[in-house]
Amino acid sequence: MTQFAMTIDGKVVTKTETFNVINPSTGGSAGQCPSGTVDDVNAAVAAAKTAYASWSITSDDVRKQACRDMAAVLAAHANELATLLSTEQGKPRGGLGADFELGGCQVWAGNTAELELPVEVIKDDNEGLIEVHRKPLGVVASITPWNWPLMIGIWHIAPAIRAGNTVVIKPSPYTPLSTLRMVEILNTVLPAGVLNVVTGPDDLGPVLTGHADVAKVTFTGSTETGKKVMASAAGTLKRLTLELGGNDAGILLPDVDPRQIAEGLFWSAFINSGQTCACMKRLYVHDSIYEDVCKEFAAFTANIKVGSGADTNSVLGPIQNAAQLAKVEDLISDAVDQGARIILGGKRSTEAGYIHPLTLIADAKDGMRIVDEEQFGPVLPIIRYSNVEDAIKAANASSMGLGASVWSKDIAAAKKLALRMESGSVWINGHGGLNPNAPFGGVKQSGLGTEFGTEGLKEFTSIQTLHA
């Protein structure tokens, strides 16, 4: 069996104590993860701090090349990493699964090399010179979740390193193995200490995010944990980027063709079996097309195979962990108790692991938990509206604001409504598509700060204004 190890200061660190990582497709083991300790976190932060002294003064060209090199070694090891990712996360290799995630890692790492943060000249005349420079921050702590562990890891690592910071990453204990291996691979092209990884019990996260020598925390995960991370950052006024949950609404206007949009709706809601921060989590449909949309959406979805990530016929995989499965089942049964109607899926068969059928819930209403809470799984509530103003009001009533979408043949009309959605991103006739140059982040309790592109890169820097 493969022995997985942490990487601290460029060195492989194994542990005799390990914990089991579950393969969610089978309920069996995906491998044993080293149980790091507080001493390991301290060693990783110390290594990152030492490496920062030299990495922070490297030229921009060196750091650009590092991003290109990271993209290249990820490509060279894509097959191995995608297999491991599929085993511990559950997503199949094909479609928008593990191979797609590895492709995203390469694209984001490579694109980070092409971004520019030029010195801004505010004034340059007889009276003097004023320039704005972008400086790195120091040691960045990265905390990642279990849904897209490698891609989100790269979203944190690449801009941090490009801007001259050093990193300690702590992946979710549900999916740590692929990150351990990815960091080991990335260390073949990075100086020792620039990128470190620690894994272990739940108390390591707070130790890392509260560490006095960490200058910034970049966190992707739940809103509740995000609030704790924010509190732990207060002691030393750490910089923060928080990408938290969403409860994204989609609004279908009466002019859409239900059959034509069925596939788009499907991927908008069910990419990664619905375990995606910015996927559609509640769908508002005009009364005049409601039954047709339910029928066409269910017809398309019924043909999609959900199963083991190892089965090449599977388009989508299981729910990643038992707690999330229990949450999804609880929300479905609550919706049924409240009078909602299951039009597809609903209950699990006796398949092993955490495989759950794709589930569509009609006659869902605001106020039901399945509508008001983030389900983060393969179930979508469909809500009927008759006045678009009511739909917008309901969509915006959430405390979350990550993404939203408006669907219509009339793009100009859709755009007007889209700009009224209280969300960091909004899509027309689609939902959740990302671009490495397009800023991404949440409003309200969906997060703080921005990822991707130049705006995202700036978040890993502080401003130094030079007066001469």
DSSP code, position 90? -
444 binds ligand NDP (CB under 6 A): no
Q: Which of 208, 215, 218, 206 is nearest to 236 (CA)?
A: 215
Contacts with 416 (C-beta within 8 Å, 6 or more apart), sequence order: none
Shortest spacing between CB 12 and ligand NDP, in angstroms: 22
Using CB under 6 A as the binding rule, the residues of this chain from 232 to 261 that contact ligand NDP are: 244-245
Q: Which residues in 379-442 belong to E strands, given as ranges?
A: 379-385, 400-401, 403-407, 425-428
Between 173 and 258, CB nearer to ligand NDP: 173
Q: Is the dihedral of CA 206, 210, 212, 217 positive or negative?
A: positive
Interface with ligand NDP by CB under 6 A: which range of 47-55, 178-186, 218-226, 448-456? Answer: 218-226
Fill in the amino acid letter for 307.
Answer: G
Interface with ligand NDP by CB under 6 A: which range of 6-14, 15-23, 224-232, 349-357? Answer: 224-232
199 binds ligand NDP (CB under 6 A): no
Partners of 406 in the beta sheet?
A: 251, 428
280 binds ligand NDP (CB under 6 A): no
Shortest spacing between CB 110 and ligand NDP, in angstroms: 23
b/e code 367-405 from CB counts within 10 Å (16+ = b): ebebbbbbbbbbbbbbbbbeebeebbebbeebebbbbbb
Residues in contact with ligand NDP, shown as a per-residue x/- string from 310 to 349 under the rule CB under 6 A:
--------------x--x----------------------
Residues in contact with ligand NDP, shown as a per-residue x/- string from 360 to 399 under the rule CB under 6 A:
--------------x-x-----------------------
Neighbours of 286 (CB within 10 A): 19
Interface with ligand NDP by CB under 6 A: which range of 159-167, 198-206, 358-366, 421-429? Answer: 198-206
Between 68 and 327, CB nearer to ligand NDP: 327
Q: How far apart are CA 96 and CA 80, in angstroms?
A: 17
- Tokens linked to 437: 């140059």
220 binds ligand NDP (CB under 6 A): yes
Interface with ligand NDP by CB under 6 A: which range of 214-222, 253-261, 289-297, 360-368? Answer: 214-222
Annotation says 243 is catalytic? yes
Task: Give yes or no for a contact between 324 and 42, defined as CB atoms under 8 angstroms apart.
Answer: no
Point out the catalytic residue in the list 88, 101, 184, 243.
243
- Tokens linked to 323: 């707690």
Of the chain, the end-to-end C-alpha distance in Å amounts to 61
Interface with ligand NDP by CB under 6 A: which range of 12-20, 91-99, 216-224, 265-273? Answer: 216-224
Fill in the amino acid letter for 14.
Answer: T
What's the Cα-to-Cα distance from 242 to each of 137, 239, 456, 465, rounded to whole Å? 17, 10, 12, 26
172 binds ligand NDP (CB under 6 A): yes
Partners of 434 in the beta sheet?
A: none
225 binds ligand NDP (CB under 6 A): yes
Q: How far apart are CA 397 and CA 84, in angstroms?
A: 40
Between 172 and 308, CB nearer to ligand NDP: 172
Q: How far apart are CA 276 and CA 274, in angstroms?
A: 6
Using CB under 6 A as the binding rule, the residues of this chain from 100 to 159 that contact ligand NDP are: 143-147
The residue number whose beta carbon is nearest to ligand NDP equals 205
Query: Which of 34, 164, 193, 205 lies at the binding interface for ligand NDP (CB under 6 A)?
Result: 205
442 binds ligand NDP (CB under 6 A): no
Contact residues for ligand NDP (CB under 6 A)? 143-147, 172-173, 202, 205-206, 209, 220-222, 225, 228-229, 244-245, 277, 324, 327, 374, 376
Q: Which residues form the catalytic set?
A: 243
